[in-house]
Chain A
Amino acid sequence: MTLFIGQIATLVEAQVRFVVIGGVAAGLHGAGRATFDLDVCYDPSEANRQRLARVLAGWGAYLRGVEPGLPFTMDARQLLITPVMTLTTTTGDLDVMDRVAGVGEFPAVLAQSVETRVGDVSFRILDLPALVAAKRASARRKDLDQLPELEALLALRKRGS
Chain B
Amino acid sequence: MTLGQFATAIGAPGRWVQNAFQALGLPAVYTEPLARRLAFAKAVKEACGMPLRRAFPLAEEALGRWPAHRTWELREADGAVRVEIDLERFLSGYAVRLSLSRTYYAEKRRGRPRKRRLRGIALAKWYGVDVSLLVESLKRTPEERLRQLDEAREFFSRARIVR
Contacts and interface: CB of A to CB of B under 8 A. Distances in A.
B57 interface: no
B149 interface: yes
Nearest to B102: A65
A118 B102 contact: no
Nearest to A158: B120
Interface in B110-151: 119-121, 123-127, 129-131, 133-135, 137-138, 140, 142-143, 145-146, 148-150
B19 interface: no
A81 B93 contact: yes
A139 B109 contact: yes
A78 B93 contact: yes
Contacts of A154: 120
Contact of B109 (A5, A141, A148, A155): A141
A129 interface: no
Interface in A134-161: 138-142, 144, 148-149, 151-157, 160
A32 B134 contact: yes
Interface residues of A, number: 51
Given A4-B153, A66-B95, A156-B121, A28 B142 contact: yes
B7 to A, nearest CB: 14
B152 A34 contact: yes
Interface in A29-79: 30-32, 34-36, 63-66, 70-73, 77-78
Contact of B149 (A34, A70, A73, A157): A34
Contacts, number: 147
Contacts of B153: 1, 4, 34-36, 92
A143 to B, nearest CB: 8
Majority-rule SS of A interface residues? mixed
B133 to A, nearest CB: 5
Contacts of A95: 104
B154 interface: yes
25 contacts: A24-B149, A27-B148, A27-B149, A28-B142, A28-B149, A30-B138, A31-B137, A63-B96, A66-B95, A66-B98, A70-B92, A70-B98, A73-B89, A82-B96, A82-B97, A84-B104, A86-B103, A118-B143, A139-B109, A140-B107, A144-B109, A148-B123, A151-B124, A152-B121, A152-B124
Given A5-B146, A30-B134, 19 more contacts: A24-B146, A27-B146, A27-B148, A30-B145, A34-B149, A63-B96, A66-B95, A70-B95, A71-B91, A72-B92, A73-B92, A116-B142, A138-B108, A140-B108, A141-B109, A148-B129, A152-B134, A155-B121, A156-B138
